[in-house]
A and B are shown apart, each in its own frame.
Chain A
Amino acid sequence: MALRVRDDSLPRERMTAIPATAPPRARRLSATPGQIALALAIAAFLLAFLVLPVATVLYVAFTEKGTGTFTLVNFYDFVRTELFMRSLWNSFYVSAMSVAWASVLALPLAYLTTRFAFRGAAIVQTLGFLPLIMPPFVGAVAMQLFFGRNGSINLLLDDWFGFKIGFMEGLNGVIFVQSVHYFPFILINLSAALRNIDRAMEEAAQNLGCSGFRLFRRIVFPLALPGYLAGASLVFVKVFDDLATPLLLNVKDMLAPQAYLRVTSIGIADPMGYVISVVLIVASVIAMWLSAAALKGRDYATTQRGGGGLAKRRMTRMEAVLGYGVVVLILALVLAPHLGLLLLSFATVWSFSPLPDGFTPAHYARVFGESSLYIKNTLIYATLAGGIDIVLGVAIAYLVLRTKLVGREWLDWAASAALAIPGVVLGIGYLRSFYGVTLPDGTPLAALWVTIVLALAIRRLPYALRACYAALQQVSVSLEEAAENLGATKARTVRRIVVPLMAGGILAGFVTSFSTAAVELSATLMLVQSNSDAPLAYGLYVFMQSAAGRGPGAALGVVAVLLVALCTFISHAIIERSQKTKGLGH
Chain B
Amino acid sequence: MVTRRIAIGAAVGLGLLAVPAWAQAPAGKVTVVTSFSKDVTDPIKKAFEKAVPGVTLEVQNRNTNAGVKYLEETKANNQVDLFWASAPDAFEVLKGKQLLTQYKTKATGIPDKIGSYPINDPQGYYFGFAASGYGIMWNERYAKANKLPEPKDWQDLAKPAFFDHVSIASPARSGTTHLTVETILQGEGWDKGWRTIKEMAGNFNAITERSFGVPEAVNSGQVGVGIVIDFFAFSAQASGFPVKFVYPTVTTVVPANVGIVANAPNKAAAEAFVEFLLSPTGQEVLLEPGIRRLPINPAVYAKAGADYPNPFTDPRFQKMIGFDVDKSEARTAAVDTLFDQLVSFQLDALKGVTKVLHEVDAALAKKPNPQAKALADEARNLIAAMPVSEAQASSAEIKGAFTGGKQKGARQAELESQWASFARDNYAKAKAKAEEAQKAAK
Contacts and interface: CB of A to CB of B under 8 A. Distances in A.
Contact of B69 (A77, A252, A268, A352): A268
Contacts of A538: 61
Interface residues of A, number: 72
A267 B215 CA distance: 25
Contacts of B408: 65-67
22 contacts: A63-B405, A66-B408, A73-B411, A74-B411, A83-B420, A247-B209, A250-B206, A252-B345, A261-B173, A266-B333, A269-B405, A271-B404, A271-B413, A432-B73, A441-B1, A444-B74, A530-B58, A546-B37, A547-B239, A549-B38, A550-B216, A550-B219
Given A77-B413, A148-B222, A266-B402, 9 more contacts: A67-B408, A82-B424, A261-B172, A264-B65, A351-B220, A435-B74, A530-B31, A548-B39, A550-B216
Contact of B141 (A65, A74, A268, A353): A353
Contacts of A473: none
Given A67-B408, A270-B413, A545 B37 contact: yes
Interface stretch (A190-198, A494-502, A521-529, A576-584): A521-529
B412 interface: yes
Contacts of A63: 405
A162 interface: no
Nearest to A275: B413
Contacts of A271: 404, 413
A60, A66, A528: most-surrounded residue (chain B CB, <10 A): A66
A545 B142 CA distance: 22
A65 B240 contact: no
A47 to B, nearest CB: 21
Given A272-B412, A352-B145, A547-B215, A65 B404 contact: yes
Interface in B381-432: 402-409, 411-414, 416-417, 420-421, 424
B290 interface: yes
Contact of A65 (B58, B61, B62, B405): B405
B60 interface: yes
Nearest to B413: A77
A81 B413 contact: yes
A136 B123 CA distance: 40
Interface in B207-238: 207-209, 212, 215-217, 219-222, 232, 235-236, 238
Contacts of A268: 65, 69, 404
Nearest to B346: A83
A538 B424 CA distance: 40
B174 to A, nearest CB: 9
B439 to A, nearest CB: 29
B405 A265 contact: no
A526 B333 contact: no
A72 to B, nearest CB: 13
B107 interface: no
Interface residues of B, number: 75
A320 interface: no
A76 to B, nearest CB: 9
B74 A77 contact: no
Contacts of B409: 65-66
A436 B222 contact: no
Interface string A410-436: 000000000000001000100110011
A464 B135 CA distance: 48
A438 interface: yes
A565 to B, nearest CB: 25
A543 B411 contact: no
B423 to A, nearest CB: 11
Contacts of A270: 402, 404, 411-413
**Complex A-B, nearest 6 residue pairs according to Cβ-Cβ distance, in ascending order:** A269-B404, A352-B221, A66-B408, A545-B37, A546-B37, A547-B236
A82 B37 contact: no
B139 interface: yes
B58 A531 contact: yes
Contacts of A408: none
Nearest to B232: A547
A63 B407 CA distance: 13
Contacts of A546: 37-40, 212, 235, 290
Nearest to A551: B239
B220 A144 contact: yes
B190 interface: no
Nearest to B332: A266
B79 interface: yes
B220 A447 contact: no
A135 interface: no
B76 interface: yes
A82 B74 contact: no
Contact of A547 (B36, B219, B420): B219
Nearest to B143: A352
B417 A77 contact: yes
B77 A444 contact: yes
Given A269-B404, A528-B60, A351 B65 contact: no
A141 B216 contact: yes
A145 interface: yes
B405 A66 contact: yes
B59 A531 contact: yes
Interface in A136-187: 141, 144-145, 148-151
A436 B70 contact: no
Contacts of A526: 62, 66, 70
A449 interface: no
B79 A548 contact: no
Nearest to A60: B405
A539 to B, nearest CB: 9
Given A264-B66, A431-B73, A441-B1, A543 B38 contact: yes
Contacts of A81: 413, 416-417, 420
A111 interface: no
Contacts of A353: 141, 221
Contact of A74 (B59, B206, B413): B413
